[in-house]
A and B are shown apart, each in its own frame.
Chain A
Amino acid sequence: MRRALSILALIAAPLMGQAEEVVLGLSSDKVAITANFDGSDILVFGAVKREAPIPKEDLDVIVAIQGPSLPMTVRRKERRLGIWVNTEAVEVDAAPSFYSVATTRPLDQVLSNVEDLRHEVSIARAIRSVGSAGQAKDVQAFTDAVIRIKKANNTYSLHEGAVALDEQTLFRTSIALPSNLTEGDYVTRIFLTREGQVVSEYKTTIDVRKVGLERWLYTLSREQPMWYGLMSLAIAIAAGWLASAAFQVLRRG
């Protein structure tokens, strides 16, 4: 998959008339979620490979990491008869569970609106269009709310100026993956831009997986829910009995 993508990138690069392309390194392309997983920092670094001399305009780099997308329902509360109740709801058909963008300079200076629309880079563009029309009058307000809530709990973030670029060739940044990660493929995209135009794009994925006990429990709960439920109850009963027995021994002793 990854090889196919990089080949695609190689083919796509000359087609767009680009003389510059990204050579990328990642501190790790796998994140293992273990029982004591507490977030992870991924170092994204690389170089710009070019055959021609460096153009006059400044080069900028954008790094965007996106977690697996899931559908969700957004509800709005309104006051009815003096109490606050959920009234309208909008189905968002695909919003990434995690999204982080890092840039060399403020995003609006680095990327033009048209390019943002085409490549879906900024947070507002990364949320796929909100579900079927007619659910609510002001769908935009719901999308804004999603971004506001997700930014507040750090699952969406924009780090302007967090990418370091040396001699218009070497770049690096560190992206913090939070502890509440969802499993799946985290798509990592790197854009090289000049005067707001994307001159090169590179795409790879970081594999985020549960391992060991976490993996086993998760699989059991999905594939053998009956046994999983009985196991949970057995643990509960055993723990209840143990505590009772232990306290009795304590009282006697």
Chain B
Amino acid sequence: MQIYLPIAEVSVNAFLLLGLGGLVGVLSGMFGVGGGFLMTPLLFFIGIPPAVAVATEANQIVASSFSGVLAHLRRKTVDLRMGTVLLIGGLVGAAVGVVIFNYLKSLGQVDLLVKLCYVVFLGIIGAMMFVESLRAIRNTRRGAPPKRKKHGWVHKLPFKMRFRTSGLYISAIPPLIVGVCVGILAAIMGVGGGFIMVPAMIYILGMPTKVVVGTSLFQIIFVTGFTTMLHATTNYTVDVALAVLLLVGGVIGAQIGARIGVKMKAEQLRILLALMVLAVCFKLALDLLIMPGELYSIGAGGGH
């Protein structure tokens, strides 16, 4: 069934969009990532103009994250307190990020920087997670007891807060800093930031993997909601027809994903996420290194 999208001005197959939304929704519910990194290239591929794809997908992510958070809330795997602290940091970071982004744009080559950022960050994060979770799996196989959490520098800072759901009693400064950093990166790279947020919560803040997914989704709702409004009012690129088709699949997928996630072991969840991060990183690196089939590309007039 073909549907004509009023803002994107293309006609696409409705079932294809439902399927795409569902697929990305499952990942979102499982790993606590928005899925924008996957959805954007897929939408480009079926012929949606890039500006519309990026803006509409933010709207779609609001829906699937909301659906996912409700599923996680019921299992009590959302740390609302931690989420709020991260969110405050995130909003500050996003504001700083927009300033940096505009500065880079005035220098030119912002696209390249974004891509390099992606490759470097995803590569490092993916590789670290992969090695760590592989080691954890090996240890449990051997029957060695999991190492006790170390008391590092994170625990020596002032302004301690109790995060009951995460079982943590740490300073509010590290989550705030993590939030700010992710916010900056999210604004520059144009993503929700779940990708960087999830590993940061596991490894820097030491939160249990199960709680991380729901908490990440919680803060993604606000970040992408804000992005949607920004795109709708400044670029007019949110296509509500496209969003509805994607989010119908997305919200259902997120419910299924959240259920799969609960049944899996924490290490398995982490290793899968690590593999996915590495795959995306690999694909982006290839784009930069291999000679493209078409050297020329057409963009909207006057755009960056």
Contacts and interface: CB of A to CB of B under 8 A. Distances in A.
A142 B297 CA distance: 9
Give the bracket for the number of chain B residues in contact with chain A.
35 or more
Contacts of A181: 9
Contact of A77 (B109, B232, B233, B295): B295
Contact of A217 (B64, B241, B290, B298): B241
A228 B70 CA distance: 25
Interface in B226-276: 228-229, 231-233, 236, 238, 240-241, 243-244, 247-248, 251-252, 254-255
A1 interface: no
A243 B296 contact: no
A232 B4 contact: no
A243 B298 CA distance: 39
A95 B179 CA distance: 45
Given A182-B9, A214-B6, A236 B298 contact: no
B111 A240 contact: no
A149 B294 contact: yes
Contacts of A74: 296-299
Contacts of A25: none
Contacts of A33: 4
Given A76-B295, A84-B292, A236-B247, A36 B1 contact: yes
Contact of B252 (A39, A228, A243): A243
A135 to B, nearest CB: 13
Contacts of A222: 236
B241 to A, nearest CB: 7
Nearest to B290: A84
Contacts of A76: 295-296
**Is chain B's binding surface mostly helix, strand, loop or mixed?**
helix
B71 interface: yes
A228 B10 CA distance: 20
B66 interface: yes
Contacts of A27: none
Interface stretch (B55-63, B83-91, B201-209): B55-63
B63 A239 contact: yes
Contacts of B240: 217, 221, 228, 231-232, 235
A149 B298 contact: yes
A38 B2 contact: yes
A2 interface: no
Nearest to A223: B236
A215 B62 CA distance: 25
Given A83-B289, A84-B292, A243-B251, A229 B67 contact: no
Interface string A27-62: 000000111111100000000000000000000000
Contacts of B2: 36-38, 179
Contacts of A240: 62-68, 70, 247, 251, 254
A82 B289 contact: yes
Contact of A248 (B7, B64, B74, B236): B74
Contact of B292 (A38, A71, A77, A153): A77
A229 B259 CA distance: 31
Contacts of B298: 72-74, 146, 149-150
A187 B9 CA distance: 19
B288 interface: yes
Contacts of A79: 291
Nearest to A89: B299
Contacts of B255: 243-244, 247
Given A82-B289, A180-B9, A240-B65, A35 B3 contact: yes
A83 B248 CA distance: 39
B225 interface: yes
B11 interface: yes
B303 interface: yes
Which 10 A/B pairs are nearest by Cβ-Cβ distance? A71-B301, A240-B66, A229-B232, A179-B11, A243-B251, A145-B296, A236-B63, A244-B70, A240-B67, A37-B4
Interface of B: 1-4, 6-7, 9-11, 47, 59-60, 62-68, 70-71, 74, 109, 111-112, 225, 228-229, 231-233, 236, 238, 240-241, 243-244, 247-248, 251-252, 254-255, 287-292, 294-303
27 contacts: A33-B4, A34-B4, A35-B4, A73-B301, A73-B302, A74-B298, A77-B296, A82-B289, A84-B288, A86-B111, A86-B297, A92-B301, A149-B297, A179-B4, A180-B9, A214-B6, A217-B7, A218-B7, A221-B6, A222-B236, A229-B229, A233-B228, A235-B244, A239-B251, A240-B70, A241-B66, A244-B66
